Amino acid sequence: MPKEKQSFLERLTGSIKPEPEESESVEMEVAVAKKNFVEERPREKVIVKEIPAMKKERTWMEEAEGQLTIDVYQTPSEIIIKSTIAGVKPEDLDVAITNDMVTVKGRRMKDEEVSQDDYYYQECYWGSFSRSVILPVEVEAEKSKATLRNGILTVHLPKLERIKTKKIQVQEEE
């Protein structure tokens, strides 16, 4: 029973192993294909001109922010968010709350400058950080409160009380 010849794609991707005698022909076909591809592409001269928007975008990318780790859980009456924010003063934190989202922003400042050559390990994040989280239920933003104790930020978000259906009894009018 004669074997069917494998397609070029099957041999190229390796989905079916080529026979030893076919190995050279596959390599040759690939080399020819690469040569033809390179020869067919015309050379273009590209002039890059920096526009102000590109400069602004590059600056934004250089100012990367760290992302806070958070725990979000609920009690029967509120949503609670906790985050470790050691080394940050309360006045350096900004907590923005809407009915369905919370954003925590801040900045952790170095208390001393150390040369990069003097570090053995550098794992702490210094600089701006932020974290936004979409809440699982709506909350009353006006009644929310945030506290910072021993480097732990705790945000209490009272759940929004939805008007529940109330049944009333129909009385006969005389």
Cβ neighbourhood burial of 133 (10 Å; 0-12, 13-18, 19+)? middle
| 113/28: higher pLDDT | 113
**In terms of residues, how long is the chain?**
174
pLDDT, mean of residues 128-149: 93
127 neighbors 120 (Cβ within 8 angstroms): no
pLDDT at 164 over 70: no
**Structure confidence by residue, pLDDT tens digits, 98-115:** 988 999 999 988 888 888
Q: What is the pLDDT of residues 47-79, one digit of tens each?
A: 555 556 555 555 555 567 788 899 999 999 999
Query: Strand order of the sheet with strand 93-97?
Result: 66-67, 127-134, 101-108, 93-97
This prediction has a pTM of: 0.56
Going along the chain from its start, the domains and CATH numbers come out as 8-40 (no CATH), 65-114+126-158 (2.60.40.790)
